[in-house]
């Protein structure tokens, strides 16, 4: 399966999602590694098996083994960090936000790919997981690393569209079961 095959599974009522996936697969403001890593990290964060398999099939020959592993790692580490930091940010007792997390996050310091790419993928996952604190932190790093607002915007659009595809296919599976 590929992005095109995934698009074919999206019902007509979600045609906009289908069209957006096609447009984003041709996105040119990001490098191929940045784009396809964002697709994979977003698919993993969205958690729908059909979307994950389709995106993985699309990116396997577009990402190096190191980039493939790093995109998976971005989804994994942000799955933990987004919950923790979103909670400490949302809690009215602000003393939690000043406490050290005491959670291992070594992959962020040594992701195996360009740090900016990993941070961009972490930003995409943070958008899906709804952690404003992490979004701000990762956006600051990628902008300092030289990415433009248009490139950040592209990653956010990828995250939004992949997440929407996953939500639609999950809903369709429930409706048809």
Q: What is the pLDDT of residue 119?
A: 97
Q: What is the pLDDT of residue 1?
A: 66
How far, in Å, CA of 167 to CA of 144, rounded?
33
Q: What is the pLDDT of residue 101?
A: 80
- Distance of alpha carbon 174 from its chain centroid, rounded? 24
Low-confidence ranges of the chain (pLDDT < 50): none
Q: In the structure encoding, which two tokens stand for residue 12, read together?
A: 């007509």
Q: What is the pLDDT of residue 110?
A: 86
Domain extent for 27: 3-175
How far, in Å, CA of 81 to CA of 103, rounded?
9
Find tokens 């429930």 and name the residue. Answer: 174
Angle between helices 65-90 and 132-144 (to 10 degrees): 130
Return the beta strands (E) in the chain as ranges: none
Q: What is the pLDDT of residue 94?
A: 84
As for how many domains the chain has, the answer is 1
User: Of 136, 131, 137, which is closest to residue 80 (Cα–Cα)?
Assistant: 131
- The CB density around residue 27, as the number of other CB atoms within 10 Å, is 18
pTM of the full predicted structure? 0.95
Which sequence positions are flagged as catalytic?
131, 134
Question: In 60-148, where does DSSP find H-type helix?
Answer: 65-90, 106-109, 115-129, 132-144
How far, in Å, CA of 46 to CA of 51, rounded?
8
Tens-digit pLDDT profile for residues 97-125: 888 888 788 878 888 899 999 999 999 99
Give first-to-last CA distance, the chain, whole Å.
22
- The CATH number of residue 117's host domain is 1.20.1290.10
């Amino acid at each position: 399966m590929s992005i095109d095959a995934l698009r074919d599974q999206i019902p007509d009522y979600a045609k906009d999602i289908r069209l957006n996936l096609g447009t984003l697969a041709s996105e040119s403001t990001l490098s191929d590694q940045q784009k396809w890593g964002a697709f994979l990290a977003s698919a993993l964060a969205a958690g729908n098996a059909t979307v994950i398999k389709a995106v993985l099939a699309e990116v396997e020959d577009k990402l190096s083994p190191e980039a493939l592993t790093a995109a998976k790692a971005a989804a994994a580490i942000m799955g933990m960090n987004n919950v923790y930091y979103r909670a400490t940010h949302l809690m009215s007792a602000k003393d939690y936000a000043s406490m050290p997390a005491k959670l291992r996050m070594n992959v962020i310091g040594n992701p195996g790919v360009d740090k900016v790419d990993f941070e961009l993928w972490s930003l995409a996952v943070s958008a899906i997981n709804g952690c404003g604190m992490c979004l701000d932190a990762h956006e600051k790093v990628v902008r300092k690393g030289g990415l433009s607002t248009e490139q950040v915007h592209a990653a956010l659009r990828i995250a939004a569209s992949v997440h929407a595809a996953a939500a639609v296919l999950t809903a369709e599976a429930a409706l048809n079961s």
